[in-house]
Structure 1
Amino acid sequence: MAARAWQSLNFIQVFDVLREQTVCRMAVTEADGQPWCVPMEYQMEVAGREVIFHVGSRGEGRLAEAVETNYAVCLEVERPGCGWLDTVIITGRVAAIISVESGGAVLLIHAEEISGRRYFTPDG
């Protein structure tokens, strides 16, 4: 398989992707070392130089168990275009787990590193 051409996204492009999208893929590592990835809805909060992601969760199950033993997470957000795909990767830590009245929880994830790339399709 041939490598796709790509270019780095600048700060503004990265935050455009994060503002426009509402779904991410969240990757965690379970206690036995098994990686696991699940689609999640998110909201982003910017407080000064800090970026915090609010990610909804049922508050139980594999995800809840994984973040209890390992707070490190990775989020991936995509924005498709005509002939390209923007991808933003966020690495960070779960800073808090907040229970909500309706059941479930909200994970507060403090971003430690955010980067983005635009991948071009072979025809694009």
Structure 2
Amino acid sequence: MSSMCYQTLSFVECLEILRQAKAVRAAFFDGHAPYVVPMGFEWFVNGMQPVVCLMMPKEGRKAEALSVCTQVCLEFEAPDAAAIQVVLAEGKAVPLHEEDGAMVYAIPVETMSGRRYFLPDD
């Protein structure tokens, strides 16, 4: 297996990945096991802090996991022909409001890092 080289992304480059991403993989923990699920999202910047918003049913596995642990890990990926661009972000989910029978959670990003992995020339 070939090794991949990578480049660390700046804060601004990480925000660009969030802008380009079509979905997020959200990782929850229910006290027993991690649970990762792709989701749609919206985001904005409050001062210098990105805030990611997720909408989910008020009941179900994600809601149960958030009742145990509000810490969420998010993975964003942006398309690129020559590289894989990934941003990981973490924060605590805070209920924002109810919409169409679902809950909208805001996740103020506490930590964020990104990498651009270059595909090997095999």
TM-score interval (norm. to shorter) = over 0.9
Question: Match for residue 76 of structure 2?
Answer: 77
2:51, 2:109 within 8 Å by CA — same for their partners in 1?
A: yes
How far is the alpha carbon of 1:45 from its aligned partner?
1.4
Equivalent residue pairs, number: 122
1:83, 1:123 within 8 Å by CA — same for their partners in 2?
A: no
How far is the alpha carbon of 1:106 from its aligned partner?
0.9
Question: Match for residue 7 of structure 1?
Answer: 7
TM-score norm. by structure 1 comes to: 0.91
Deviations 1:47-87 (A, max 9, x none): 11222111111221100000111011100000121120100
Q: Equivalents in 1 of 2:21, 2:79: separation in Å?
A: 10
Q: Equivalents in 2 of 1:2, 1:91: separation in Å?
A: 29
TM-score norm. by structure 2 comes to: 0.92
CA RMSD of aligned residues (A): 1.5
What does residue range 10-49 of structure 1 map to in structure 2 within 5 Å?
Answer: 10-32=10-32, 34-49=33-48
1:118 aligns with 2:116: yes
Structure 1 residue ranges (4+ consecutive) displaced by more than 6 angstroms after TM superposition: none
Query: Any unmatched runs of 5+ in structure 1?
Result: none
2:3, 2:120 within 8 Å by CA — same for their partners in 1?
A: no
Deviations 1:4-35 (A, max 9, x none): 11110112211111112231000011122x01
Q: Once the two structures are aligned, what percentage of the paired residues are identical? A: 33
1:22, 1:41 within 8 Å by CA — same for their partners in 2?
A: yes
Tell me which amino acid in the other structure corresponds to 1:46.
V
Q: Partner of 1:115: helix, strand, or coil? A: strand
